[in-house]
Amino acid sequence: MRERVFTLPLCGNAWIPFKTAAQQLGLEVVIPPPVTNETIALGARYSPEGMCLPFKINIGNYLQALEKGANCVVFYTNSRAGDKKHGGGGGGMCRFRHYGHLQQLVMKKTGADIEFFILGEGGGLIDQLREITGKGTWEVIRALRVLFKKLRVIELLEELSWRYRAVEKRSGDTTKAMNKALEYLESVQDFGTLDRLDPESFFASVETFDRQPLRIGVVGEFYLLVEPASNCHVIEMLGELGVEVHRHLSLGEAVLRYPPSFILGKLMARWLNMSIPPRSEIAEIARPYLSCSVGGHGRESVADTIRFHDAGCDGVLHLLPMGCMPEVTVRPILRKVSEDYNFPVLTLSFDELISEGAIRTRIETFVDIIRLRRERREERHALPGS
Amino acid sequence: MHYLGVDVGSVSVKFALIDEKKNVVDTLYMRNHGVIPTVKKGLADFQAQLSNGAKVSGVGVTGSGAGFSKVLIGADVHKTEILAHAIGTLHFVPKVSVIFEIGGEDSKVIFLRDGIITGFEMNRICSGGAGAFLDSLAGRLDIPISEVGRLALHRENEVNIASRCTVFATTDAIHKLNTGYKLEDVLMGVCNGLVRNYLAMLYRKVSPPPYTFQGATSKNVALKHALEQQLGAEVIVPPHAPCLGAIGAAILALENPPQQTQFKGFELAKFDYHISSFVCPDCENHCEITQIMQSGEPIASNGSRCGKLNF
């Protein structure tokens, strides 16, 4: 039997904790090169045309990793979220449910000799990992513990970097600090060190202005929220325009919402050290506009737009891959929310043909609009008796 | 004290000069034959048209070519075309509720309430509802684009042109001509189809009037007629309609006045500009770096994703 070399689809910085955990379990891994236009073009060439953008990027990742010597793909999916008990056919899921199997077919058609491991299918994550690695339950859990802890630290760093970038004095300082932090994190191996880390300390070198930046919440399809190359780096773009960004969903949160098993869910919540609003609360907030699940994170997009409004954000950016059924359904609903709450919402839809210039024009205009709105509001408040 | 606005679009370049009271001193509309020669010539012509003594205290640029022109002209303010158009229009029609702008290759609808932009739509992947299509059809039929509107209003029959895709619309228009329809009928059919496509793509939220219609296409009376008919309401074409983006850019420069303008003067011709580009080999992004050279020296560089080569 040949030696297995594993790779994974890129999803923001999530490859860093994956790599650490894989090494701890004694697996050989190849990380695909960062997502570029080339990756997207490569993936689009082999994927079905109407498929969503994340699928195409994944395929591009596999093909590029293959060139670097990978021969196995690990894909994490969550079939539990799709079964009857947990929300019924598609409650919380969409085409993503079929990604693993479809990608396997697509890769076969390219003629690639590649093995697929679809983790999380059927809920037996730990059993699957034991089988792949030949390690014991305890070792697998230990590796997962480091994986989720590291993922959380990275997510906190990302969120902090969005806060700092909006008010940094020297443009580029935050990005530099962030890259340094990630580089350091790549080498950290043990849970204790990760647990004691203060993410804020990595940004000590960033000098900031003392001002209240504009705040925009980002909602929508979760891959677009976590992989910057899939959304033309809009979050960085916003930061450079002096806007603080908040996302409604991170990768950790997305996994935690539909954990592979009850016990693992409990453990993950502890490792990630985060609490998520219960599904019933989300449903309650969204109910005036959407009374059922539309799959994916559609209902979350509606509820979180309202929550961002209530939290005092200046606007919401809604991201979706072209043809994403849940988010396409939500799009006109968000327009209604925007009218009712008099709250700016900009929807951007992405596919492999999108031009960065077109996105930049829309983002810049959106930021100008909300900035003018805020100035107007402040003027009005400044006038006595109004 | 004067402020200059330049709107560098895909099909044309517009210039506007306003005084400190926002009165429009002069405007100029030019076809875009490559941004460097057009801007150079435009500025020279513009200066010739102006009476002496116009001192420029600030410059605003907008449009799809604004990033580059900003360096070329030495602009102080750079804003998107959507904002510039809205600001320019609000100056002439303060109560405007919806702005219909049909440009050469892009078209937009801007929604406003109480003088504040509340939303906008812009064509994304299709230029079906934009002016370049009429331009190419006019070229093919060998009639000047400025005559299309006037001719179309002399139609005798209503012709329906399949206009979802402009390539097929051209085919259909030629086909209709070959079946014996008069040129005027076909032109009106095309104008109707263009507006239908434009509204279907961008105007999905109905707002009450007043409406304005602008962009270079607003000089086309048949398009205005088609728009009014399909909206069922009157549409105002504000003064200087083709140049409102440039006027808006000038107003934005006036409202955010620079301490010292970067403007290089109207005589750009004395500088020699050219572009050089190369692919950065440092990582797998393979960014294409574009540099603007002024008399042999790079004065601006962009395209670098990581930012290290941008200035």
The verdict on a CB contact (< 8 Å) between A33 and B284 is yes
B31 beta partners: B12
Indicate if B46 and B78 belong to the same structural domain. Answer: yes
> For the segment B71-116, what is each residue's pLDDT rounded down to a tens digit?
888 888 888 889 999 999 999 999 999 999 988 788 889 999 888 8
Q: Find the mean pLDDT for residues B273-291.
A: 78
pLDDT band at B125 (very low <50, low <70, confident <90, very high): low
Indicate if B214 and B149 belong to the same structural domain. Answer: yes
What pLDDT does residue A90 have?
36
Please report which helix (H) or strand (E) contains residue A73, including its range. strand A72-76
What pLDDT does residue A84 have?
44
What pLDDT does residue A385 have?
44
Indicate if B194 and B219 belong to the same structural domain. Answer: yes
- Residue-range domains of chain A with CATH: 5-143 (3.40.50)
Indicate if B55 and B121 belong to the same structural domain. Answer: no
Q: Is residue B216 part of a domain?
A: yes
Q: Which 170-199 residues of chain B touch chain A by CB within 8 A?
A: none
Q: What is the chain A residue with the closest CA to B65?
A: A357
d(CA A75, CA A95): 14
Domain boundary among B183, B211, B236: B236
Domain boundary among B217, B236, B255: B236
Chain A touched by B94 (CB under 8 Å): no
Quote the tokens at residue A9.
């689809």
Give the total number of structural domains in chain B. Answer: 3
The ipTM (two decimal places) reads 0.81
The verdict on a CB contact (< 8 Å) between A369 and B79 is no
CATH number at residue B57: 3.30.420.40
Give me the domain span that covers residue B186.
95-236
Residue numbers in B near A335 (CB within 8 A): 205
The verdict on a CB contact (< 8 Å) between A34 and B125 is no
Chain B touched by A36 (CB under 8 Å): yes
What pLDDT does residue A123 have?
57
Q: Is residue B241 part of a domain?
A: no
What pLDDT does residue A100 have?
84
Q: Is residue B53 part of a domain?
A: yes
Q: Is residue B310 part of a domain?
A: no
What pLDDT does residue B303 have?
75
B292 beta partners: B275, B300
Residues 6+ apart with CB under 8 A from A208: A164, A167, A168, A169
Chain B touched by A38 (CB under 8 Å): yes
Residue numbers in B near A33 (CB within 8 A): 284
Chain B touched by A372 (CB under 8 Å): yes
Indicate if B29 and B157 belong to the same structural domain. Answer: no
Chain A touched by B140 (CB under 8 Å): no
pLDDT tens-place values along chain A, 386 residues long = 678 999 999 999 999 999 999 999 999 999 999 998 889 999 999 999 889 999 999 999 999 999 999 999 998 876 554 454 443 333 346 788 788 888 989 999 988 888 888 887 765 788 888 888 888 889 999 999 999 999 999 999 999 999 999 999 888 889 999 999 999 999 988 888 988 889 899 999 889 898 889 999 999 998 999 999 899 899 999 999 999 999 988 888 888 877 777 888 888 888 888 878 888 898 999 999 999 888 888 888 999 999 999 999 999 999 999 888 889 999 999 999 998 998 999 999 998 888 788 888 899 999 999 998 888 777 766 555 43
The verdict on a CB contact (< 8 Å) between B284 and A34 is yes
Indicate if B108 and B176 belong to the same structural domain. Answer: yes
Q: Find the mean pLDDT for residues B196-220.
A: 86
What pLDDT does residue A7 have?
93
Indicate if B264 and B277 belong to the same structural domain. Answer: no
Min Cα distance A31 → chain B (Å) is 14
What pLDDT does residue B307 have?
67
Indicate if B223 and B171 belong to the same structural domain. Answer: yes
Residue numbers in A near B205 (CB within 8 A): 335
Distance from chain centroid for Cα A257: 13
In this predicted structure, the answer to whether residue B143 has a pLDDT above a threshold of 90 is no
Indicate if B161 and B65 belong to the same structural domain. Answer: no
The verdict on a CB contact (< 8 Å) between B120 and A365 is yes
Indicate if B65 and B144 belong to the same structural domain. Answer: no
Q: Is residue B308 part of a domain?
A: no
Q: Find the mean pLDDT for residues B169-190.
A: 87
Mean pLDDT of chain B: 84
Residue numbers in A near B79 (CB within 8 A): 364, 368
Q: What is the chain A residue with the closest CA to B117?
A: A369
What pLDDT does residue A14 have?
92
Min Cα distance B82 → chain A (Å) is 7
Indicate if B65 and B101 belong to the same structural domain. Answer: no
Work out the angle at residue A22's Cα, subtended by the Cα atoms of residues A21 and A24, and round it to the nearest 5 degrees. 65
Task: Pinpoint the alpha helices (H) of A247-355.
Answer: 251-257, 262-272, 279-286, 298-310, 325-341
Q: Is the dihedral of CA A358, A10, A267, A153 positive or negative?
A: negative
Residue numbers in A near B285 (CB within 8 A): 34, 36
